[in-house]
């Protein structure tokens, strides 16, 4: 079944199946209309035949009396004309004719172009046949003897308006059924593909986690794995729940249709649930997909410190998302100031190390003794050669002495609690040596701290010595 839905992910197969459904429904439409048209024609012929039988019974005594003896013809014709006139009140009838034993017109009545009833003449028969009127004849018998016949001319086109209504009704019904079939098919397809995507995302996540564990070179990798796992678990669980609801609703609709119990109310109710669940599932799967891509990208960067092009805002945001568990545990809010997209060529691993170290330093020192805090990062383009990253916290700030010595090796204000004093020195060396940049800090006690990092836009290009940084 999985391979079947995998095949449906192909756009050509998807379009072909939808086209097939439409073609089948069109065929069913024409077949049903044809059946209804045939049935109406049969019914109309049957009604005309009943008229002929009634007239034959009504005029039989008169024909028999004429056949045996002379009776006043005018009186007989007047009585019979009244009988024929009453039958011609039906809209679909055009003419009723009574023939004698020698095929001569005993009497007949017809409708004029103004819908007036007139006497039928012998030559009218050919005219009616030429105009396409159908003709049904029944014999008039006295015992086994034929004493005449009755012919009824009727118009099959009388049903054109009824047939048009039938066509419209069948078209609407067929269109609605086609929509329902395609909708259910597409929703089931999306639900199954979403489920497959969820399973693939889980597999991809496990593979990526294994690669990260094998390539782990830094202690920050543990927080990376924890952060992504935390971010993925929630949307993935929501997506799987929503997918199950879609399958349940699709099954209900199919059961209603199979039992011919599908009503507008339960159809709309289930369709609404399917649409909402599918939208919820797709939104969460898109989120999972982005997280997995981030996971892969950061994993690759942690396994090798190569130089490549990145969108610096996106990369910082991705790095901070991997630290979401740590931020959440310390009630720290992260804000990335909106701005223009800036692509730079640098060492992503080094940038990730810097952001992670500055975040850890802010949590450990900047927010020490506080129950919450805010980290704000802004990225600015200085000129065509350099950008600046402003990393700011609203913590306790630093004294001027700490500001002057923060990047010195083994300088720490927490030696009594096990601090070594190398974190900021490592950050300084990475910025200056690995990334050809500069870092400085601005801070005041009680007013938070701000680290300003200046980096080249293209690490592979020689920077001009007079660049204003």
Parallel, antiparallel, or unpaired: how do β-strands 449-456 and 438-443 relate? Answer: antiparallel
Fold annotation for 12-154: Beta-Lactamase (3.30.450)
Cβ distance 379 to 342 under 8 Å? yes
> What backbone torsions phi and psi does residue 442 show, to the nearest 5 degrees?
-125, 125
pTM above 0.75, yes or no: no
Percent of the chain scored above 90 by pLDDT? 9
Tokens of 8: 């449906």
Top-ranked range on mean pLDDT: pick from 26-30, 100-104, 134-138, 143-147: 134-138
The pLDDT of residue 254: 82
Where in the chain do CATH 3.30.565.10 domains reside? 308-456
pLDDT score of 21 more than 80: no
d(CA 341, CA 379): 9
pLDDT score of 310 more than 70: yes
What is the chain's mean pLDDT, rounded? 77
Burial letters 324-359, b for 16+ CB under 10 A, else e: bbbbeebebebeeeeeeeeebebbbbbbbbbbbbbb
* pLDDT tens per residue, range 179-216: 777 777 777 777 777 777 777 777 876 676 455 444 44
Percent of the chain scored above 70 by pLDDT? 76
- At residue 297, the 3 state secondary structure works out as helix
Query: Residue 428, by phi and psi: left (phi above 0), alpha (psi -120 to 50) or beta?
Result: alpha
The pLDDT of residue 451: 94
Lowest mean pLDDT among 156-160, 356-360, 409-413: 156-160
* pLDDT tens per residue, range 229-247: 666 776 777 777 878 888 8
* DSSP code of residue 417: G
* DSSP code of residue 96: E
Where in the chain do CATH 3.30.450.20 domains reside? 12-154
Which is more confidently placed, 128 or 391? Answer: 391
In this prediction, residue 19 has a pLDDT band, given cuts at 50, 70 and 90, of: confident
The pLDDT of residue 390: 95
Lowest mean pLDDT among 34-38, 263-267, 336-340, 450-454: 34-38
Does the CA dihedral 325-328-330-332 come out positive or negative? positive
Q: Does domain 308-456 match CATH 3.50.50.60? A: no
């Amino acid at each position: 079944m999985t391979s079947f839905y995998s095949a449906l992910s192909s756009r050509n197969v998807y379009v072909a199946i939808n086209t097939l459904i439409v073609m089948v429904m069109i065929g069913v439409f024409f077949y049903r209309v044809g059946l209804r048209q045939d049935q109406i024609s049969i019914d109309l012929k049957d009604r005309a035949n009943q008229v002929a039988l009634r007239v034959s019974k009504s005029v039989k005594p008169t024909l028999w009396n004429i056949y045996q003896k002379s009776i006043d013809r005018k009186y007989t014709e007047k009585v019979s004309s009244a009988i024929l006139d009453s039958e011609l009140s039906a809209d679909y009838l055009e003419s009723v004719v009574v023939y004698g034993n020698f095929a001569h017109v005993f009497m007949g009545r017809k409708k004029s172009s103004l819908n007036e009833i007139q006497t039928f003449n012998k030559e009218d028969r050919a005219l009616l046949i030429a105009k396409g009127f159908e003709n049904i004849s029944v014999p008039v018998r006295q015992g086994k003897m034929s004493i005449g016949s009755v012919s009824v001319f009727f118009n099959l086109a009388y049903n054109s308006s009824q047939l048009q209504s039938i066509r419209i009704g069948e078209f609407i019904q067929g269109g609605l059924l086609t929509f329902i079939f395609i909708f259910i098919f597409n929703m089931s397809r999306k639900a199954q593909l979403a489920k497959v995507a969820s399973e693939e995302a889980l597999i991809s996540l496990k593979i990526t986690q294994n690669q990260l564990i094998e390539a782990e070179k830094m202690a920050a990798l543990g927080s990376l794995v924890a952060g992504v796992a935390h971010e993925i678990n929630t949307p993935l669980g929501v997506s799987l729940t929503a997918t199950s609801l879609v399958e349940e609703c699709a099954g209900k609709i199919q059961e209603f249709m199979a039992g011919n119990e599908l009503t507008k109310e339960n159809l709309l109710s289930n369709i609404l649930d399917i649409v909402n669940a599918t939208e919820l599932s797709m939104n969460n799967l898109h989120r999972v997909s982005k997280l997995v891509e981030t996971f892969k990208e950061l994993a690759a960067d942690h396994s090798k410190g190569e130089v490549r092009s990145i969108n610096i805002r996106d990369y910082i945001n991705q790095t901070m998302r991997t630290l979401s568990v740590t931020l959440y545990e310390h009630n720290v809010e992260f804000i990335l100031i909106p701005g223009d997209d800036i692509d730079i060529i640098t060492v992503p691993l080094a940038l990730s190390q810097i952001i992670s170290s500055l975040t850890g330093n802010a949590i450990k020192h900047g927010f020490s003794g506080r129950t919450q805090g805010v980290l704000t990062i802004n990225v600015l383009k200085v000129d065509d050669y350099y950008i600046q990253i402003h990393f700011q916290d609203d913590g306790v700030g630093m004294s001027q002495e700490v500001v002057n010595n923060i990047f010195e090796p083994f300088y720490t204000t927490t030696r009594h609690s096990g601090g070594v004093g190398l974190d900021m020195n490592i950050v300084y060396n990475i910025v200056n040596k690995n990334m050809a940049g500069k870092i400085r800090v601005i801070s005041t006690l009680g007013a938070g701290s701000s680290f300003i990092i200046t980096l080249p836009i293209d690490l592979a290009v020689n920077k001009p010595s007079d660049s204003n940084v």
